[in-house]
A and B are shown apart, each in its own frame.
Chain A
């Protein structure tokens, strides 16, 4: 069995009466693409929020690379190598796409220079290169808030990738994207991610995407993991089909 990169044990978090995490145990292995599926409100985003330090579980442990990360700030967790993208893209809307990418590069390389320009030749090239890999070169000079949803999602993920994380958590990378665009986006994404060797966890509602790109699938249901395994097995399970996929397909 391959090495475990992220290990969550017994995570619990309730909002009032709602159990968003009700005993989550999950090991993410080095180098794998793990898909998280499950109906709306199952606690998928909550899991990402707990792992990235945005929410603190009421019980449980999280280890990354063998070290506990619970209680660390989002900033500290990012620096240890966990990146994330967002269900709603979080871009600097008044900056250009290029500046967004360059800022993410600056965040890794050192932001504390008050007098050399952000778009210095080397960082500009590096940012352009990054955008190129995501197929965003054509919109590099557009303001981030002028992009369509698909490009916004990609730019959002590109910024996370710029930080060179060893684990990337993506919250619904294809939601809100037109069906025709979807596969193109996912293919771009998978190509870039495979080339970096990053371990990826992604929340996804589209079962075709899951079947095609995930190494393993975790099925979330009311704050618990109802099933976990290779997509071929999990997606064929009649119980999963009835309770999760049926609901997700209607959603």
Chain B
């Protein structure tokens, strides 16, 4: 536990140093933090033994909320919570239906909802500008409108702060009665019922929390890229989140951030080195992780400590 906090502090420091030493990495690392927050939500569901293959829908909801609302209200301190709430609200509505299902049905129903959202974003050109996407209008931060370089640092800082906040939140939640009951869904759901605990409600809470974090991740992506397209809701984007969760490891709230950073860096460097073959490299990495390090990057690190 202590080592986990130390590693988190060191990791946060390393990110700041990297972003400062290699300016163009700041963009990549902000995206990694944003995706890490969304992947925390995947991790919650993994604890219940469930995999969502459609979580990119919540990133899309957060990102499009940002893009739609920015022209009317440019204050990030209002836009971010709005994006989070809209994603969480949507998560609650479809969650009421989804938590009745388990395993492959749960995974595929999530995928189905994400595909519907993707098509809507793509087809409703009048509202969403289709595949062209929407540019995110100028933003203000606590009333100020800093110049571009400063703004990038601010967004990076917000992403880092929220990553730490949600990381802690998830850690406390997983150790709480609700979090332990969530993990009980994976091994003995009937026992929960025979203890008088409504398993579906336990899963619903986790699902809404995961949707909220997806929305926050998506809003941060929109603030970083300043342009949102339906691509963010595409099924490959959902697969990517699951990939990152497995790469980083589900054993700790740090896993998603380790995974997301590794993923984004591999993507950037692999894309530069071998152009179109980076998916092949990612596929190879995933194979190696599943075969030799099922606990992901986090598993490798914590195994080293125990040895």
| Inter-chain contact B194/A52, CB cutoff 8 Å | yes
Question: Bound complex: CA of A92 vs CA of B48, how far in Å?
Answer: 12
Q: Counting CB contacts under 8 A, is B301 at the interface? A: no
| Inter-chain contact B175/A118, CB cutoff 8 Å | yes
Most chain-A Cβ atoms within 10 A of its Cβ — which of B179, B184, B196, B198? Answer: B196
Q: Counting CB contacts under 8 A, is A212 at the interface? A: no
Measured between beta carbons, the chain A residues less than 8 angstroms from B196 are 75, 78-79, 107-108, 163
A-binding segment of B51-59, B185-193, B256-264, B286-294: B185-193
Q: Counting CB contacts under 8 A, is A188 at the interface? A: no
Q: Binding site of A, secondary structure by majority: helix, strand, loop or mixed?
A: loop
Measured between beta carbons, the chain A residues less than 8 angstroms from B149 are none
Question: Bound complex: CA of A103 vs CA of B184, how far in Å?
Answer: 9
Measured between beta carbons, the chain B residues less than 8 angstroms from A83 are 194
Question: Bound complex: CA of A102 vs CA of B186, how far in Å?
Answer: 18
Contact with B along A127-147 (1 / 0, CB 8 A): 000000000000000000000
Measured between beta carbons, the chain B residues less than 8 angstroms from A112 are 177-178
Question: What class of interface size applies to chain A in its complex with B?
Answer: 20 to 34
Q: Counting CB contacts under 8 A, is A99 at the interface? A: yes
Contact with B along A18-62 (1 / 0, CB 8 A): 000000000000000000000000000000000010000000000
Most chain-B Cβ atoms within 10 A of its Cβ — which of A83, A91, A103? Answer: A103
Contact with B along A93-106 (1 / 0, CB 8 A): 11100010011101
Q: Counting CB contacts under 8 A, is B21 at the interface? A: no
Most chain-A Cβ atoms within 10 A of its Cβ — which of B176, B188, B192, B194? Answer: B194
| Inter-chain contact B187/A92, CB cutoff 8 Å | yes
Contact with A along B163-197 (1 / 0, CB 8 A): 00000010011011111110110111011111111
**Chain A nearest CB, measured from B191 CB (Å):** 4
Question: Bound complex: CA of A106 vs CA of B197, how far in Å?
Answer: 10
Q: Counting CB contacts under 8 A, is B235 at the interface? A: no
Contact A106/B188 with A78-B196, A92-B183 known, Cβ cut-off 8 Å: no
From residue 150 to 167 of chain B, which have CB atoms closer than 8 A to chain A? none
**Chain B nearest CB, measured from A207 CB (Å):** 29
Q: Counting CB contacts under 8 A, is B205 at the interface? A: yes
Question: What class of interface size applies to chain B in its complex with A?
Answer: 20 to 34
| Inter-chain contact A90/B172, CB cutoff 8 Å | no
Residue of A nearest to B168 (CB): A115
Residue of A nearest to B184 (CB): A92
Residue of B nearest to A93 (CB): B187
| Inter-chain contact B193/A114, CB cutoff 8 Å | no
| Inter-chain contact B198/A75, CB cutoff 8 Å | yes
Q: Counting CB contacts under 8 A, is A250 at the interface? A: no
Measured between beta carbons, the chain B residues less than 8 angstroms from A247 are none
| Inter-chain contact A117/B195, CB cutoff 8 Å | no
Q: Counting CB contacts under 8 A, is A153 at the interface? A: no
**Chain A nearest CB, measured from B307 CB (Å):** 20
| Inter-chain contact B195/A107, CB cutoff 8 Å | yes
| Inter-chain contact A114/B205, CB cutoff 8 Å | yes
Question: Bound complex: CA of A104 vs CA of B175, how far in Å?
Answer: 15
Question: Bound complex: CA of A152 vs CA of B172, how far in Å?
Answer: 29
Contact A92/B191 with A117-B175, A118-B176 known, Cβ cut-off 8 Å: yes
Question: Bound complex: CA of A112 vs CA of B183, how far in Å?
Answer: 15
Q: Counting CB contacts under 8 A, is A159 at the interface? A: yes
**Chain A nearest CB, measured from B202 CB (Å):** 8
**Chain B nearest CB, measured from A4 CB (Å):** 24
**Chain A nearest CB, measured from B210 CB (Å):** 13
Q: Counting CB contacts under 8 A, is A111 at the interface? A: yes
| Inter-chain contact B197/A114, CB cutoff 8 Å | no
| Inter-chain contact A90/B178, CB cutoff 8 Å | no
Q: Report 5 cross-chain contacts, Cβ distance below 8 Å, ordered by A residue.
A: A90-B194, A92-B191, A95-B184, A114-B172, A115-B176
Q: Which 8 A-B pairs have the closest CB atoms?
A: A107-B195, A106-B177, A78-B196, A90-B191, A111-B177, A92-B184, A117-B175, A115-B172
Q: Which residues of B contact A (CB under 8 A)?
A: 169, 172-173, 175-181, 183-184, 186-188, 190-198, 202, 205
Q: A75-B196, A110-B177 are in contact. List 11 more A-B contacts (CB 8 A).
A: A74-B194, A83-B194, A84-B194, A90-B194, A94-B183, A102-B177, A106-B180, A107-B192, A113-B177, A118-B180, A159-B195
Q: Which residues of A contact B (CB under 8 A)?
A: 52, 73-75, 78-79, 83-84, 90-95, 99, 102-104, 106-108, 110-119, 159, 163
